[in-house]
Structure 1
């Protein structure tokens, strides 16, 4: 049974996974069936298709890397998710719970891709001319927002403790 205080985290995590997987399904099944990527939306934003075999924002993205690298990344991600779940379950602070839930949901969304496709589907690309940030997805955004919330919560906790 899930304690009442943890329901919010469970709902946020599952909503994050759902939003991530729905966005990837829409891009892969609808948008890219009608249009060839890249699709220019504005002068600074495009939809692209990048299969990320590495970690966040393309780190260690080498499709030719041995399968052991992919399994190591998957195993490490699952260990981190387990640790984050434990921390989320133990915290009594609502803001921390939300931060953990977003991070967990984002990580789970990317794990689903790795298990299903062998890589993570990245498609959001912000750029100025030829200079751009590596392509990412909704899960990556949730992870970044979740970590940012956890940093704010930690900052609040250290301010209160001082």
Structure 2
């Protein structure tokens, strides 16, 4: 399957978020920036969940009987937050080596990947549950940094699963 059709859903999502970062960056009103940062944090967390799900379900459907693919799609954890531990668990269920590679990728020197991923999920949960006091670190800069890490993660998972496929 061609890359463009295989990644159509999460690539559109990523483009939308990128465009929103560009348009929101021009707003100098601090209250608007805070609101926009929270909105983008929710979108970035959703992008992470959708991209991981799409990549792994696409991998699972390659050369598999349609009944098995349907089973995996139907049993995918709907409400699982894509924090680092949950991503490790899901990757491990597909391939223990992937979980190990992910752990190594997280610890790459000079990167705050684990913090970026866990922060975006934690912020989303705080925003969704009205816990404003837990969102003081949510700024356009912090959300943009987390988004960059998550884009790297999506590329990492894409490359990893396609080596196997």
More helix by share: 2
| TM-score, structure 2 normalization | 0.36
